[in-house]
Amino acid sequence: MNEMSTAAPATASVMVVDHPLVQHKVTLVRSEDTTTDNFRRLVREISQLLTYEATRDLAMETVAIRTPLAPMQSPMLSGKKLCLVAILRAGNGFIDGMLELLPAARVGHIGLYRDPETLEPIEYYFKMPEDVHERLVIVVDPMLATGNSAIAALNRLKEAGVSALKYVCLIASRPGLRALQAAHPDVAIVTAAIDDTLDAHGYIVPGLGDAGDRLYGTR
């Protein structure tokens, strides 16, 4: 696990999860030879491994329990409840795997599509738990490309009263990271890989193509 600072010290960290299992699966998920079913499985598995790191700093408390042999004091989660927010449509590819680790988490959805000319996000759907402002919210989307969709999603969540936020993605671009950190310096980012550039259409290079198309077998 590496941490990279790309801005001033006050800017939240970027955590690159460089565990061998993660990096092996990222290589497979990037390959154009990976089939749709295997792509879905790999994204699900990577999402679980990233969730492990994204929740490393959750608050704990000590409670009294009894094992079959003796009483003891043992740690359990405490503090704010969780909400996972998927940026549609590709963000849904993360949710099922994350819920296996966080079964009590609520789930929200933000529907955004990217204008092909301006590359700016346009919102078409926003659905959150009523108490989302009381929760730690983890926003998920496989690709952080220009950063525009992530910034728009975080803006909406802050408008809804959310103050505790994290962002998790599979691959981030350096331009997208810079943009996201400039707009939301308080939001920690967890990713499996960082690529240097974007093409003229706003896709990450080398990236993995369009994550939504590869998840759902569309073009």
Q: Is 147 annotated as a binding residue?
A: yes
Q: Is 108 annotated as a binding residue?
A: no
Q: Is 10 annotated as a binding residue?
A: no
Q: Is 148 annotated as a binding residue?
A: yes
Q: Is 2 annotated as a binding residue?
A: no
Q: Is 210 annotated as a binding residue?
A: yes
Q: Of the candidates 106, 123, 105, which has an alpha carbon nearest to the alpha carbon of residue 114?
A: 123
Q: Is 143 annotated as a binding residue?
A: yes
Q: Is 60 annotated as a binding residue?
A: no
Residue owning tokens 């699966």: 25
Q: Is 209 annotated as a binding residue?
A: yes
Rounded CA-CA distance 83/80 in Å is: 10
Q: Is 211 annotated as a binding residue?
A: yes
Q: Is 152 annotated as a binding residue?
A: no
Q: Is 204 annotated as a binding residue?
A: yes
Binding annotation: 89, 114, 141-149, 204, 209-211
Residues placed in the known binding site for 5-phospho-alpha-D-ribose 1-diphosphate? 89, 114, 141-149, 210
Binding residues for uracil: 204, 209-211
